[in-house]
Structure 1
Amino acid sequence: MRVFLCTDMLKKSWLRAERIGMERLPRMSRRVFTGGSLLTAATLGLPALYAQTQPETRKVTISVDSKNTFYCLPLTISEQLGYFKSEGLEVGISDFESAALALQAVARGSADICSAGFEHTLHLQSMQQMYQSFVLQGRAPQVAFGVSPQNLPGYQSITDLKGKKIGVPALGSSSAMMASMVLSQGGLKAGDASFVGVGKAADGALAALRSGQVDAMSNTDPLMTMLEQKGEVRIISDTRTLKGTMEVFGGPMPAACLFAPLDFVRKNPNTCQALANAMVRGLKWLQTAGPGDIIKTVPESYLLGDRGLYIASFNKVRESISLDGILADEAPRTALKALASFDASIKTGSIDLGKTYTNVFAQRAKERFKA
C-alpha cells in the first residue's frame, strides 16, 4: 500500500488524476464564457429555452463516485422509485471507486453527468474546464475523522498526528479534503502527515487499522459508524452533522451534486430540468421516509449484511441530506475558501463561482413538487 505525503503530494495526485482524460474533452467556444446572452440562458433559464418540455436527450449516463454510500443516497432513491422514468428519461448509472475515475468517464464521453462532490467543479475550473452543478444532494460532506485507540492510545490533539498515516478512500476525495482541513486547523503543515488510500470497503479499512498501516481514518458512512461501533476509531471531527460542518469549514459546505460540462447544460436545459425534477422528488421523499422505508428501497447489497448498522448510519447523516436540491449562495464560497486554504493551485481570484452552479433547475423542481 503506497503512502503519499499530506497536502503537497495529495494536491499533485489529485490534479494529475483529474487531468487524465481531460485533454480529450473538447474546448468550449469562447462565446460560452464571454457571450452574456448564452451564459444567461444557461444559468438563468430564459423562457425561450423552456418552450420545449421534452428532454433534448432522453438517454443519459451518470458516472458516480461510490453509489452505495449515503453520499449518493438521493440518486439511488430517485432511481429505485422510478422518478427518472417518470420524467421521460432512460438513465444509466456507472459506478466508480473514486471521483477522479467518475470525472474521467465524463471527459472521455462515456458519461454525460457526474455525481460527486461540488469541490470538483472548482478544481476543474482552475484547469480551464467549465463544469456546472445543477442539483445538490448533500448539504454537508458526511465525512467523519477518527483516530485509532490501538495505534494512538495517548492521542490528545491534532499535533499528535504529526508523522502518522491517515486512511482515506482515495487521494482527491472529499474525505481527504476534510482531513486536510482538520490537519491545517490543528497547526500541521504539508508533509507533517501522510495519506494512504484504503478505499471504502469495510474489510480493507478495518485491516489497515488493525495492521497499523494507518493510524487514523477519514471516511464516510456506513463504514465510519461500523468502525465506531467496533471501537476501532475515536471520532475527533465530524461533518455528518450541520454543526460539525460549521466547525470544520466555517460555513455550509456543499457535498455531492449532479454536475456536467457547462456546454451540456446550455444545450440540454430540458434534460437537466428533468434530472433535477427526479432528484428533488427523491429528496422530498427522503424528508419523511423512515429508516424502514430506506431499507426497503435501496439494494440489499447496500446494507452490508447488517440492517441495524445501516439504520444507525442513516440516522447520523440524515440532516446532511439536501431538502430541495438548492445550493445556499454562501456554500460555494465556503468550498472555495476551504480548498484555497491548503491547495496552492486554487486561486480564489481566478475562480468564477457563478459558473460552477445554478439553482434555476432545482428551484423550478422545488416549486413543482412543493419540496
Structure 2
Amino acid sequence: MKMRTLLMAASLLFPALGAAQAADVEKPSLTLGVGGKPLLYYLPLTLAEKLGYFKDEGLTVEINDFGGGAKSLQALIGGSVDAVTGAYEHTIRMQPKKQDIRAVIDLGRYPGIVIAVRKAEADKIKTVADLKGKNIGVTAPGSSTHIMVQYLLTKAGLKQDDASFIGVGGGASAVAAMQKGEIDAISHLDPVISKLEDLGLINVLVDTRTTEGTEKVFGGQNPAAVLYFKESFIKDNPKTVQALTNAFYKTLKWLEKATPEQIAANVPEEYWLGDKTLYMKAVEASRQSYSTDGNIDEASMKSALSLITTTDPSIDPAAIDLSKTFDGSFLAKAKGQ
C-alpha cells in the first residue's frame, strides 16, 4: 500500500512539475525551422527531439523541415517560425540587410560538407578548378552547400557562375540525382555522401567532416549549424531561449559520449537511407564535426566572415559587428546548471 501511495503521489507530482516548468517559459509551444533535418548536419536537432530534452525543458517544439537552409532563414524573417537550426553564416549575411539574427549555441564546429565528383567524370575532374562548366548538385540554391562551392571556386581563381548549380534536396533525391547522372559533382552532407561512397558512385575532392579537412580549406575551425533567433525574439522570450539552449547543450554532451549504435537507435529509420550499418559509418565519419562545448570563438567567427566576403564582395567586413552574431550568455547559464 505504501508503494502504491508513493507511485500515485509521483504520478501527480511530475506532471505538475512539468506544467510549472512550461508555465515558466514565455512561449512553451513554438515552431522551429530547419533545412534538411535527416542530414547529419542537423543530428543534434533530431536527438534533442527524440531524447525528450525539449519536453524536459517544458517545451512543445513543432519542427518545419524546409528544402534548404536559405528557406528556413526566409521563414524566420517572414515570421512563420520562431527559431532556426541553420548555418552560422546567416547571422553575418543578414546584418547588412538590417536583420538582427543571433546564434546562441554552436552545434557543429566544422561544416561537414563534402565536395565529390561522379566517378564517370573523375578522370576529367581532379581539382576544384576542373568543376568549371559542370553541373553541381547542392541541397538548395543559397544554402551552405551552395556557398561552400562558390567559396572554393573563387579560391581556385574561377567565377562563382562558372558552374551550374542544381537543388537536389537533402536525402534520397540527392542520391537519385547522382545515380541518374543528372549532376557531375555534388556538394552535400552525410548520410548522403557515405551512401554515394558505398554505392561506388563518387570520388571525394574536399572533406570538411574532419579537423584535417576543415583546416585544409579554412586554416582552422569554421562554425556550421547553430541555433539562431531574431534578436527581438530573444529580448521578448529569454526564458524560452534559455530552455532551448539547455536542451541543445544536454544533447551535445550526450552526443559526445554516445556510440554510433545509440545514435542510430535515436533517429527515425528512414534517416538510415535503407542501411543502418552505413548510417552508423556516416555518423563516425562526421563525429569530429560536432561541437562539444557549444561555443564560437572569435577566430571561428572571422573564418566564417572570410568565407562570406569571399563569395559576396558586396559585404564589407569592416561593417560587420561579429559580437552581434553570437550571444553566449544563454550557453554560459546552460553550462552552469
What TM-score results when the alignment is normalised by the length of structure 1? Answer: 0.81
Q: Give secondary structure in 2 for the equivalent of 1:150.
A: helix
Match of 1:89?
Answer: 59
In 1, distance between residues paired with 2:126 and 2:74?
A: 40
Matched residue, 1:58: 28
Alignment of 1:189-228 (within 5 A): 189-202=159-172, 204-228=173-197
The answer to whether residue 132 in structure 2 is matched with residue 172 in structure 1 is no
3-state SS of 2:121 partner: coil
SS of aligned partner of 2:292: coil
- 153-162 or 177-186, which moves further after superposition? 153-162
What is the CA–CA distance in structure 2 between the aligned matches of 1:259 and 1:190, rounded to whole Å? 27
8 Å Cα contact 2:112/2:286 also seen in 1: yes
Unaligned runs of 5+ in 2: 1-22
Q: Does structure 1 conserve the Cα–Cα contact (< 8 Å) formed by 2:48 and 2:248?
A: yes
User: In structure 1, which of residues 315, 322, 327 is the aligned counterpart of residue 291 of structure 2?
Assistant: 322
- Superposed structure 1 runs of 4+ greater than 6 Å apart: none
List per-residue Cα deviations over 1:88-110 (Å, max 9, x = no partner).
Answer: 21211111111222123222322
1:303–1:310 contact (8 Å) kept in structure 2: yes
- The CA deviation at 1:213 is 2.8
Alignment match, 2:94: 124
Q: Deviations 1:122-142 (Å, cap 9, x if unpaired)?
A: 121121111100011111111
Give 1:367 deviation, angstroms. 2.6
Match of 1:240 in 2: 209
Partner of 2:271: 302
Q: Equivalent of 2:199, from 227, 230, 242?
A: 230
Look up the SS of the partner of 1:274 in the other structure.
Answer: helix
TM-aligned CA deviation for residue 302 of structure 1: 1.3
For residues 190 and 182 of structure 1, the distance between their equivalents in structure 2, rounded to whole angstroms, comes to 9
Equivalent residue runs for 1:105-144 within 5 Å: 105-144=75-114
1:155 aligns with 2:125: yes
The Cα RMSD (Å) is 1.6
1:249 aligns with 2:218: yes
How far the C-alpha of 1:317 sits from its partner, in A, is: 0.5
Q: Per the alignment, do residues 263 and 292 of structure 1 end up closer, same or farther by CA in structure 2, a change over 3 Å counting?
A: same
Query: Using a 3 Å threshold, how does the CA distance of structure 1 residues 209 and 280 change in structure 2: closer, same or farther?
Result: same
Q: Distance in 2 between matches of 1:221 and 1:356?
A: 27
**Which residue in the other structure is 1:67 paired with?**
37
Match of 1:3 in 2: none
Partner Cα distance (2:136, 2:167) in 1: 9
Distance 1:298 1:157 in 2: 35
Q: 1:341 to 1:213 in 2, by over 3 A?
A: same
Question: Which moves more between the two structures, 248-257 or 100-109?
Answer: 100-109
- In 2, the alpha carbon distance for the partners of 1:284 and 1:157 equals 37
Distance 1:205 1:69 in 2: 11
CA 289–340 in structure 1, closer or farther in 2 if over 3 Å, else same: same
What secondary structure, in the 3-state scheme, does the structure 2 residue paired with 1:104 have? Answer: helix
Question: Who is 1:347 aligned against?
Answer: 316
Q: In the alignment, is residue 362 of structure 1 matched against residue 323 of structure 2?
A: no
Alignment partner of 2:305: what SS? helix
1:56 touches 1:268 (CA, 8 Å); kept in 2? yes
For residues 89 and 294 of structure 1, the distance between their equivalents in structure 2, rounded to whole angstroms, comes to 22
- Cα distance between partner residues in 2 of 1:205 and 1:61: 26
Q: How many residues align?
A: 315
Question: Does the 8 Å contact 1:326/1:363 carry over to 2?
Answer: no
The 2-side partners of 1:357 and 1:180 are apart by: 25
**Unpaired segments ≥5 residues, structure 1:** 1-52
**1:211 CA drift (Å):** 4.1
- CA distance in 2: counterparts of 1:188 and 1:77, whole angstroms: 39
The verdict on how the C-alpha distance between 1:261 and 1:211 changes in structure 2, with shifts beyond 3 A counting, is: same
Amino acid at match of 2:241: C
Partner-residue secondary structure (3-state), 1:297: coil
> 1:184 is matched with which residue?
154
Query: Which one of the candidate residues 304, 313, 335 is aligned to 2:304?
Result: 335
CA positional deviation for 1:210: 4.2
